[in-house]
Chain A
C-alpha cells in the first residue's frame, strides 16, 4: 500500500509549526543579545569576538527560510525537498522498535537527567533541547506513518504531555540546582527569601482568575481545532487489532508482556497505589520539605523519578506509539503491518532447570493422585522458581538491611524497613523480569498454570 509522505496540506500546515518556532527563536535571539555575552570564532574564521546571539540569529534565519519554503512550495509535494532522509528513519526505527533498546534509552535519559542536572537544567541547554524536539517533531511529521500514530486525536495529548513533563522536570531541577548551591554555602533555600505575607485579594485571586480565563480559552481552542474521536459503532464480534486500553493505562498493559494479568493487572497496580500512600510514612528524611532540592534527597528523588519517567511515562509512550497489531513493536516511521512476525519461544525456569540443567524429564503430577500429592509434585516441579521468588521477597530485604541499606534499616526499624524493601523490590521486579526475558527468553519464574499462578 502506498501512501504519500507529503501532501500540499501537510506542507502548508507545517509552515505554521515553523512559524511558531521562528517567532519563539526571534524573541530568544533578542534575549540572548541582552544576556549571553560574546564568544570567539575559531581562528579559521579570523577569531573575532561575536555575540552569542549571532548563532541564534542564524538559526532563526534558517527557520524563516523553512517557513517561507513551506508556505510557498506546497503546490508540488512530490518534489518538495524538506523531508527526513530514509537512512535517518531507518536508524531511529531500529533504535526504538525493540523494547530492550527503548527501555535502555529511557533509562539512559533518566541517568542523564540525574547526572548532568547541572549542565542540562540551564536556560540555554533547556532551550536547545526544546528546539531539538520541535525540529524533530516537525521533520517527523513529513512521514505518513508517523502522522498516523501521532495524529490520532487521543494521542495528541500524549505528545503535549511529553513536552510538559520535560519542561517541569527541567524547571524543578533548575530550582533544585540553585537551592543546592545556596545550601552548600550555608544559605537557606530561595523559597524562604523575601517570603513576606501578602493579601490573598488581590495577589492570589487575580492570578486564579487569569488562569481560569486562559484555560477556558485554551480548552475552547483545543476543542475547535481537534475533533473528539468517534469510531464505528461498538461491535462485540469485530476485535480491533491492536486492542488498547486507554492511554493512561498503557504502562499497565505493557506489563502484561512480562507478567500475567493477576500480577500486571491487579497486584502491581494495587501495590503502586498502596506504595504511594505509604511513601510519606517511609521517607524518614526530614530535609527538603517545602523547597526544591536534589542533593538533600538524592535517594528518594532518584527512585521516584525512575518510577515516573522510564517506568510510567516511558511505558505509556512505548504502549501508545510503538505497539502495533498483535502487540508487536513498530518503529515510529514504520507501517503497521498486520502480518509482521515475531518469533516467540520463551522458556520457563522449571524447564531450564529439569530439561536443560539436569537433563531429566519434568515431574508430572499424578492425575489420579490425591490433591495434596498433586500440589506436592507441582511445588517440587517449580521449586527453583519458588525458592528464587521467596528469596527475592523475604531473604533479600534482610541482606539489604545488613549491607547497602544498613543505615536505612537502622533508622527505619524492622517493620517500616520491610515495607520499604518490598516496595522497592516489587518496583524493580518489572525491569528485572524484562532483563531476564531479553537475556534468557525466560517466560515464567514459577509456572503453575493449573492454578493460574504464573510469576
Chain B
C-alpha cells in the first residue's frame, strides 16, 4: 500500500472527507455535494458558464481579492493601532522593521485591483445582458456591493495617517457638507430649525456624522477604522453570500435562451 493510499484509508482522512478521492464520475459528483466550500457550486454546469471568454472570471477574481484583502487585513491589524500617536508610526514600522511588511503592499494593491475588477465584472454583466430577467435583483445587490467596495477602499485610505490619507479624505468628505437639508452648507439646511435655532450646524450635519468631528481627526480615524475593519467587511461578506445564492437560484450563469 502506498503512503497516499495509507493516508486516504485512515480514519482521520475519512472522517474529514467521507468519501473516496474524486477520481471517478460518481465521486466527482459526491465531492461537490459533501464539501462545505464546494457546495457553493452546482454539481454540473453548462460549458458556457465556465468559459473564461464569457465571464472573464471577474466576479470570481473580485471574490478572491476580497478574501486576500481579509487575510492580509487581519494580519495588518496585529501591527496597527488606530490612534494619532501610533497610526503613522505603525505603518512606517511595517515598511522598515516588520517581517510581514509586504502584507501592506499586497493589501493596498489588492484594494486597487478589487476596485478595478468589480467595475470590469459589472461591465461584463452589462455587456452580456445578464441583468435582464430573472437576474434583475442580483444586479441590484451587485450595485450595492460596488458601492461598498468603493467605501471599503475609501475608509482604508485614511488609516496610514499620512498627508496623502488625510487630505484625500478631507476632499472626499467635504462634499457631505453640501448634502441637501442635512449638510451645514447644503441647500435647505435652514429648513430644520427649532425656534430660530438651526439644527444643522458644522457640529451636527452629515459630514460630522461621517467624521465624528468637525475636521478629519482622531475620532475620524476611529470611525473609519471600525467601518473599514468590521462594519463594511461584514456587510460585504453577507451581501456576497446572498449574491452567490442568487446566482444559483436565478438559474446559474446566464445563457442564451
Contacts and interface: CB of A to CB of B under 8 A. Distances in A.
A220 B104 CA distance: 11
Given A228-B108, A230-B95, A245-B171, A290 B254 contact: yes
Nearest to A279: B131
Q: Which of A220, A246, A451 has the most CB of B within 10 A?
A: A246
Interface stretch (B6-14, B53-61, B225-233): B53-61
Contact of B131 (A161, A226, A236, A280): A280
The winner among B104, B127, B187 for most chain A CB atoms within 10 A is B127
A288 B129 contact: yes
B110 A219 contact: yes
Given A238-B163, A289-B257, A222 B109 contact: yes
A243 B160 contact: no
B109 A223 contact: yes
A164 B115 contact: no
A196 interface: yes
A50 interface: no
B64 A188 contact: no
Given A260-B178, A265-B175, A211 B254 contact: no
A165 B172 contact: no
Interface in A204-234: 204-205, 207-208, 211-212, 215-216, 219-220, 222-224, 226-234
Contact of A240 (B52, B163, B176, B256): B163
Interface stretch (A33-41, A167-175, A342-350, A416-424): A167-175
A204 B54 contact: no
Nearest to A235: B163
Given A219-B109, A264-B175, A266-B186, A172 B95 contact: no
A239 interface: yes
A286 interface: yes
B167 interface: yes
Given A248-B115, A301-B127, A203 B256 contact: no
A169 B120 CA distance: 10
Nearest to A171: B53
Nearest to B154: A246
A202 interface: yes
A267 B47 contact: no
B68 to A, nearest CB: 6
Contact of A233 (B28, B88, B127): B88
B96 to A, nearest CB: 10
A233 B163 contact: yes
A244 interface: yes
A246 B256 contact: no
A207 B41 CA distance: 13
Interface in B122-178: 123-124, 126-133, 135-136, 139-140, 143-144, 146-147, 150, 153-154, 157, 160-168, 170-172, 174-178
Interface in A177-196: 188-189, 191-192, 194-196
A200 B91 contact: no
A348 to B, nearest CB: 16
Contacts of A231: 162-164
Given A157-B109, A246-B154, A261-B178, A195 B95 contact: no
A277 interface: yes
Contacts of B183: 262, 266
A281 interface: yes
B64 A212 contact: yes
A219 B31 CA distance: 30
B146 to A, nearest CB: 8
A205 B22 CA distance: 12
A270 B44 CA distance: 40
Q: Which range holds the interface residue count of chain B?
A: 35 or more
B43 interface: yes
A297 interface: yes
Given A191-B255, A191-B256, A280-B139, A452 B185 contact: yes
A370 to B, nearest CB: 15
A199 B57 contact: no
B106 A304 contact: no
A177 to B, nearest CB: 13
A292 B254 CA distance: 11
Contacts of A229: 162, 164
Contacts of B139: 277, 279-280
Contact of A261 (B64, B162, B174): B174
A291 interface: yes
A243 to B, nearest CB: 5
B177 A261 contact: yes
B171 A232 contact: no
B209 interface: no
A262 B163 contact: no
Given A165-B120, A215-B68, 4 more contacts: A161-B116, A200-B45, A222-B106, A236-B215
21 contacts: A172-B124, A172-B127, A199-B32, A199-B44, A200-B41, A201-B38, A212-B64, A219-B68, A222-B106, A228-B95, A230-B164, A236-B166, A236-B217, A244-B167, A249-B172, A261-B174, A262-B187, A266-B183, A280-B140, A289-B254, A451-B188
The 3 closest A-B pairs by CB, nearest first: A265-B175, A223-B105, A280-B136
Interface of A: 154, 157, 160-161, 164-165, 168, 171-172, 175-176, 188-189, 191-192, 194-205, 207-208, 211-212, 215-216, 219-220, 222-224, 226-236, 238-240, 243-246, 248-249, 252-253, 260-262, 264-267, 273, 276-277, 279-281, 283, 285-293, 297, 301, 304, 308, 451-453
Interface of B: 22, 25, 28-29, 31-32, 38, 41-48, 50-54, 56-57, 60-61, 64-65, 68, 88, 91-92, 95, 102, 104-106, 108-110, 112-113, 115-116, 119-120, 123-124, 126-133, 135-136, 139-140, 143-144, 146-147, 150, 153-154, 157, 160-168, 170-172, 174-180, 183, 185-190, 215-217, 254-257
